[in-house]
Amino acid sequence: MQYLDDRLYIVTADGTLACIDATEEAIKAAQGGAVPEPVDVKAAAAVRWNPGGPPDTPDG
């Protein structure tokens, strides 16, 4: 767990990385019942280092 710039970053037991808005405004909104929809962000495809050539992705 890390806290930086009013954001709390956590990793769950299954490896999910989550960022929680811990600003005063977000906390007040949540206390009032206004909770934003979660956003599922997928990681970009891994890029392999290919010296002397273009980046190589797992798909090709």
Give the structural domain span for 7.
Answer: 2-31
Give per-residue pLDDT as tens, 9-51: 999 999 889 999 999 999 999 999 999 999 888 776 666 666 7
Quick one: pLDDT at residue 21? 95
Q: Is position 58 within any domain?
A: no
pLDDT of residue 24: 96
| More confident call, 54 vs 26 | 26
Q: Is residue 15 part of a domain?
A: yes
**Tokens 């206390």, residue located:** 31
The answer to whether position 36 is within a domain reads no
Buried b (16+ CB within 10 A) or exposed e, 45-57: eeeeeeeeeeeee
Assess if residue 59 is contained within a domain: no
Query: What is the pLDDT at residue 31?
Result: 97
Q: How many domains does the chain have?
A: 1
Residue 44 lies in a domain: no
Helix (H/G/I), strand (E/B), else coil: 27: helix
